[in-house]
Amino acid sequence: MLNDNNAVPGRAIRSRTAFALIAATLLVGGSISEASAKSRQHRHHAKHQATSNWLDANASTGGSGRSFAGKASFYGNESGSKTASGQRFNQNAMTAAHRSLPFGTKLRVNYRGASVVVTVNDRGPFIKGRVLDLSKGAARAIGLTGAGVGHVTAEVVS
C-alpha cells in the first residue's frame, strides 16, 4: 500500500491543474498577435531609446540632407498618455513621432500635394519600413487618414 501520511490534501490536484494550464497556454497560442504586439509596443514607446542615426535605412534623402522620404502612418488611440518627450499626447495636435530626431524638431510633411508642419515629440514608428508616425490631426490635415499609410516627404524646417 501507498503511504499517504506525508501528502498534503489537494496538493496533487493543484499541481496537475497548474501543469494543465501551462500546457494549454503553450498549445493554444502562447504568443500574441502582431497587431496586439505593435499596439503594446507603441503604448510603451517612452521606454525605448533611439540608437540609430535620424536618417535610418527606411528613408531616402533629398539633396540637402535635411529632408527625407518614406512611408508614414498615424496614431491617435493613445490620447492622454505621455509621449517619449514627457508631453501628454493630443491626437488633434500637429505632432509626429520619429525614431531619433531631437524633440522639438519641426518638419514640413508633404503628402499628395498637401503639407503640414509638425513638431517631433514622440518616438516611433515601431513598424519596419516606416519613417514617421503622425498624430491623427496632422494626418487628417494632409489627407492621410483615409489611406492609413502613405509615401511622404519631410523636410526639417527648424
- Whether 33 is in a domain gets the answer no
Confidence of residue 78 (pLDDT cuts 50, 70, 90): confident
Cα separation, 156 vs 158, in Å, equals 6
Domain range holding 121?
A: 44-156
Q: Which of 57, 56, 58 shows the shortest CA–CA distance to 70?
A: 58
The β-bridge relationship of strands 149-156 and 67-75 is antiparallel
Q: What is 80-115 written as a DSSP string? A: TSBPTTSPBP-TTSSEEE-SSSPTT-EEEEEETTEE
The β-bridge relationship of strands 149-156 and 106-111 is antiparallel
Residue 7: predicted pLDDT: 54
Residues 134-155: pLDDT tens digits? 999 999 999 999 989 999 999 9
- Whether 24 is in a domain gets the answer no
- First-to-last alpha carbon distance for the chain, in angstroms, is 84
Residue 158: predicted pLDDT: 78
- Whether 14 is in a domain gets the answer no
Average pLDDT, the chain: 75
- Whether 89 is in a domain gets the answer yes
More confident residue, 119 or 15: 119
The Cβ of residue 146 has, within 10 Å, a number of other Cβ atoms equal to 8
pTM: 0.61
- Whether 75 is in a domain gets the answer yes
Judged against a pLDDT cut of 80, whether residue 40 lies above it is answered with no
152 three-state secondary structure: strand
**Based on the structure, what is the number of domains in the chain?**
1
Q: What is the CATH number of the domain that holds 132?
A: 2.40.40.10
DSSP 8-state assignment for residue 47: G
